[in-house]
Amino acid sequence: MNPRLWSFRTRYLAGFVVCVALMAFALYAQYVMHLDPCPLCIFQRIAVCFMGLFFLVGGLHAPARIGMRATYAGLVTLGGLWGIATAGRHLWLQSLPASEVPACGPGLGYLFDAFPFAKMLKLAFTGSGECAKIEPILGIPMPGWTLLWFVVLIVWALPAVRRSVR
């Protein structure tokens, strides 16, 4: 079966399955491999969940109108762009020399409790020492993998807007 000929519904449900698999691996890495997520990792997880949600809703809805298809593709792309920005920032922090890495800050839970939302986002994206720790998986750091998957999922979602099975 040629994936380029899949229907909108099939492509979007497959995108949802990939998002579920990515979150399953993130939880495996956290609880089995004992790789605690930093604030930027958590924001990448939120982006995967956001994309997965709209892959699922789009796949279940399977709209016939191009405009609705474009809406789902736009929402998936928005989540992917958020994830790309977060993973890119994370990779940049990991590339810094040890002397330039920001000091470790409070956890994301404390930031949510203690600061308004905009300030919390600013502090989380500033990064901390824990975000600069590199834990490679198959030789690539975790944010590198997520960046790759965000690009793949965006590229996967967009052609489904115009394709239809005859």
What is the DSSP track for 37-84?
A: --HHHHHHHHHHHHHHHHHHHHHHH--SSHHHHHHHHHHHHHHHHHHH
Q: Is residue 149 part of a domain?
A: yes
pLDDT, position 52: 95
Q: Is residue 103 part of a domain?
A: yes
Q: Is residue 166 part of a domain?
A: no
pLDDT, position 26: 92
Residues of the chain with pLDDT > 70: what percent? 75
Q: How many domains does the chain have?
A: 1
140 band by pLDDT with thresholds 50, 70 and 90 = confident
Rounded alpha-carbon distances, angstroms, from residue 12 to 33, 70, 119, 160: 30, 12, 35, 8
Q: Which pLDDT tens digit goes with each residue over 25-69? A: 999 988 998 888 878 888 899 999 999 999 999 889 877 777 788
pLDDT, position 165: 47
Q: What is the mean pLDDT of the chain?
A: 81
Q: Is residue 109 part of a domain?
A: yes
Domain membership of residue 99 as a residue range: 3-161
Q: Which pLDDT tens digit goes with each residue over 91-125? A: 887 777 777 666 555 566 666 676 776 776 666 66
pLDDT, position 62: 78
Q: Is residue 19 part of a domain?
A: yes
Q: Is residue 124 part of a domain?
A: yes
pTM here is 0.80
pLDDT, position 166: 46
Is the pLDDT assigned to residue 83 strictly greater than 60? Answer: yes
Q: Reduce the DSSP state of residue 153 to 3 states and report it.
A: helix
Q: Is residue 42 part of a domain?
A: yes
Whichever domain contains 72, its CATH number is 1.20.1550.10
pLDDT, position 78: 95
Q: What's 163's DSSP letter?
A: -
Q: Is residue 129 part of a domain?
A: yes
pLDDT, position 31: 92
Is the pLDDT assigned to residue 12 strictly greater than 70? Answer: yes
